[in-house]
Structure formats: structure tokens, C-alpha cells
Amino acid sequence: MAPVYENGVVREVEDEYLYDPAILERLDFAKSGVKFNPPISAAEPGAGLRIRPLSTRDYDRGFIKLLSQLTEVGDVSREQFLKRFHEMKQCPNTYFITVVEDTETANPEDSVIGAATLVVEQKFIHQCAVRGRLEDVVVNDTYRGKQLGKLIVTTITMLAREMNCYKISLDCKDKMIPYYESLGFTLEPGNSNYMTMRILKCSL
């Protein structure tokens, strides 16, 4: 969000969240079946860390740069970021982009150090059920190997339970299968094909 000037002074603009942060506080990690050593959870992610919904201010905290460690992102302007943020927010109970923030880093412009998305798809089948999709999981390379990937994926799967999704699924490269298996996902026999039709020419 562009800085707001009042009498020539820059006023701090408040965070606006993509979804209600209180949802994260009520997730019961004991029910996740995933073991953390040392024990951490969305409510208590560890010293100097915070798990929260994506904020309008995360453009200035390195969110887009972080995504470029996952795939090609392109040159996303602040205006594009905010437009997409508000488009997502206008779809209630659908987009749950969740980030890990290092609140003590010396580089606040890179303080968003992990992210993942839950998309909740509304259905007519199964009695107008909803299903979840896990998307865009990434941890900043200097923070990897510290359970943060595990923490953010578990946060998303617990969020999917909280939103009453009847299942959550993902697609990933073959080499990531053991990783997601360790977090409770399974390849269902006869039902694990992922098919694609590329529409635009790009390396995504």
C-alpha cells in the first residue's frame, strides 16, 4: 500500500489481512498427527516468528520475492499485488494465503520467509461440500530445514479441516512425493493422476 502523508509526515498504514487471523489461533495442532521437534504450532511457531494471513503490507516484506523461489513470478507491481489481493478477498471463505514472518530480522524487506495457500472450492456434489487445494508452498532458502515447511503445510491442512473441507489435495513434482507423504498426504491407488493442458507458452 502506498504510504499515507499527513502534514508532511508518513503515517504507518495498518495491515489489512486476507482473512480473519483469529482462525489460526483456534487450530488444534494436536489433532494434525504431524510430530514437531521441538513442538511448534501456528499459535506458537517459535521465537521471533509469526504465522498469519497475507497482508496488504507484505508486498514490502518480500512476499513476491519469496514466491520467485518457487517459480517464475514476473514483474508484479504494488498496484497489481493490491488489485489481486482485493479480488481474492472479495471471494469469501475461498483464498487463505498464509505466511510465516520473521519479526526480528534485520531485513524487514525480506521478513516474509514462508508461504502456502489453501484454496477452498465450492461444490454441488457431496451435499454442496467444499474441497481444499494446497498451492504455492515455499520457504526462504536461508530458513529451510527448520520445520517451517512442515509448519506451514500443517497449518494449511488444519485450516482445511476448520473450513470443513472433505479433502485436500495438491500436485507436485515426483521428487516432492516423500515430503508430502511425511505430512499425511497419500497417492491413492487408481486416483493419483495429474493431467495438464498448457494454455500459454511459458516455463511455469
Ligand X SMILES: CC(C)(COP(=O)(O)OP(=O)(O)OC[C@H]1O[C@@H](n2cnc3c(N)ncnc32)[C@H](O)[C@@H]1OP(=O)(O)O)[C@@H](O)C(=O)NCCC(=O)NCCS
Residues lying near ligand X in the complex (CB under 6 A): 69-70, 137-139, 144-150, 172, 175-176, 178-179, 182
Closer of 7 and 37 to ligand X (Cβ) = 37
CB 112 within 8 A of CB 120: no
Least distance to ligand X, CB of residue 176, Å: 5
Q: What angle do CA 2, 96, 66 make, to 5 degrees?
A: 60
Q: Exposed, middle or buried by CB within 10 Å (0-12, 13-18, 19+), for 38? A: exposed
Closer of 103 and 122 to ligand X (Cβ) = 103
Least distance to ligand X, CB of residue 38, Å: 12
Least distance to ligand X, CB of residue 137, Å: 4
Give the nearest residue (CB) to ligand X: 149
Least distance to ligand X, CB of residue 12, Å: 30
Closer of 32 and 56 to ligand X (Cβ) = 32
Q: Give dist(CA 190, CA 14) in Å, integer.
A: 49
Q: Give dist(CA 181, CA 189) in Å, integer.
A: 14
Q: Give dist(CA 137, CA 123) in Å, integer.
A: 24
Closer of 133 and 144 to ligand X (Cβ) = 144
